[in-house]
Amino acid sequence: MRRLVLALAAAAALAAPGGTTAGGGITVFAAASLTHVFPRIDRAPRYSFAGSDQLALQLRQGAPADVYAAASPKYPELLFHQGVLWKPRVFATNRLVVLVPKANPARIRSVYDLRRRGVKVVTGDASVPIGTYTRQILERLRITDAVLANVVSQETDVKGIVAKVALGEADAGFVYATDAKPVAKRTKTIGLPAWAQPAIRYEIAVVRSTKRAAAARAFVARVLSKRGRLALRRAGFGLPR
In whole angstroms, give the CA distance from residue 75 to residue 57: 9
Same domain, 190 and 206: no
Residue 8 and residue 78 in one domain = yes
Element (H, E) at 96: strand 96-101
Chain CA centroid to CA 189, Å: 16
**Residues near 16 by Cβ (< 8 Å), separated by ≥ 6?**
35, 36, 39
101 and 190 assigned to the same domain = yes
> Same domain for 207 and 89?
yes
Q: State how far the Cα of 56 lies from the Cα of 120, in Å rounded to an integer.
A: 30
Amino acid letter, residue 189:
T
Assigned domain for 240 exists: no
Angle subtended at Cα 204 by Cα 200 and Cα 208, rounded to the nearest 5 degrees: 145
* Cα distances (angstroms) measured from residue 38 to each of 45, 62, 99, 115: 10, 23, 23, 36
Residue 191 sits in the same domain as residue 222: no
The structural domain count of the chain equals: 2
pLDDT (0 to 100) of residue 24: 53
Radius of gyration of the chain (CA): 18
Q: Which amino acid is at 106?
A: A
Residue 171 sits in a domain whose CATH number is 3.40.190.10
> Can you give the residue range of the structural domain that contains 9?
2-93+200-234
In this structure, the answer to whether residues 130 and 171 fall within a common structural domain is: yes
Give the C-alpha separation, 213 to 98, whole Å: 39
Q: Is residue 73 part of a domain?
A: yes
Predicted local confidence at residue 19, as pLDDT:
36
CB neighbour burial string for 179-213, b if at least 16 within 10 angstroms, e if fewer:
bbebbeebbbbbebeeeebbebbbbbbbbeebebe
Low-confidence stretches of the chain (pLDDT beneath 70)? 1-24
Domain-located, residue 239: no
Full-model pTM: 0.86
Please give the single-letter amino acid code of residue 179: D
Same domain, 127 and 84: no
Q: What is the pLDDT of residue 16?
A: 38
175 in a structural domain: yes
Residues 6+ apart with CB under 8 A from 135: 123, 126, 144, 148
**Is 100 part of a structural domain of the chain?**
yes
In 3-state terms, what secondary structure has residue 42? coil
Report the C-alpha gap between 166 and 164 in whole angstroms.
6
pLDDT of amino acid 80? 98
Question: Is 22 part of any domain?
Answer: yes
